[in-house]
Amino acid sequence: MSTIPNMHLPVMEQFLTLQGEGRFAGHAAYFIRLGGCDVGCVWCDVKESWDMDKHPRIAVEALVGHAAESGATIAVITGGEPLMHDLGLLTTELKKKNIRTHIETSGAHEVSGTWDWITFSPKKFKAPLNDTIVCANELKVVIYNKSDFEWAEKFATQVSNNCLLYMQPEWSRSAEMNPLIVEYIKSHPQWALSLQTHKYLDIP
């Protein structure tokens, strides 16, 4: 008989893959993409995740079981905007299975859950919360146009001194933005380049 409380979360998809971005790029990870987002990035590549009511609600017990069966030592909770949901139980149960808990968030909602790694990716469409900003382990700023360099520096002054700084080209504009990002990082070496390597490799 299950000892996990009967909590369900809207899940768009879940799968084992390699983390494509940021500090843990190239590491095996079990992704849990939750439904629901109120940020509304115009260039979002998973807009189908926005309406949480369109996705089945799956028990936390089942999600944790799938993650454990995958053999991955990292679970990445993403969206949508995953912090629209209370993630305390999910992270507690993942940790019981010795699975690292990572999250990718815009920072627009209060942090719930216990995290080993928080990727903070601020968006202009909904302001992040200060309490979320200071929790970040890595700041990942999507560069869509030239004004985003100044946007990135704004948040670099707000995160902790230990937070890693990444600039990542928006996929559809990478041919134009990549050379600009490379030159910027060469003169601002506190930043590093993050690429969506999973798209280059054509994996989920």
DSSP class of 80:
S
**pLDDT at residue 1, rounded to an integer:** 45
Nearest alpha-carbon partner for 166 in 156, 177, 180, 178: 156
**pLDDT at residue 4, rounded to an integer:** 67
β-bridge pairing 100-105 and 164-169 = unpaired
**pLDDT at residue 2, rounded to an integer:** 55
pLDDT by residue for the chain (204 residues), tens only, comes to: 456 667 999 999 999 999 999 999 999 999 999 999 998 877 777 888 889 999 999 999 999 999 999 999 999 999 999 999 999 999 999 999 999 999 999 999 999 999 999 999 999 889 999 999 999 999 999 999 999 999 999 999 999 999 999 999 999 999 999 999 999 999 999 999 999 999 999 998
Asked whether residue 2 is assigned to any structural domain, the reply reads no
Q: What is the CATH number of the domain that holds 148?
A: 3.20.20.70
Asked whether residue 1 is assigned to any structural domain, the reply reads no
**pLDDT at residue 129, rounded to an integer:** 96
Number of domains in the chain: 1
Query: By residue range, what is the domain housing residue 75?
Result: 8-201
**pLDDT at residue 105, rounded to an integer:** 97
Asked whether residue 3 is assigned to any structural domain, the reply reads no
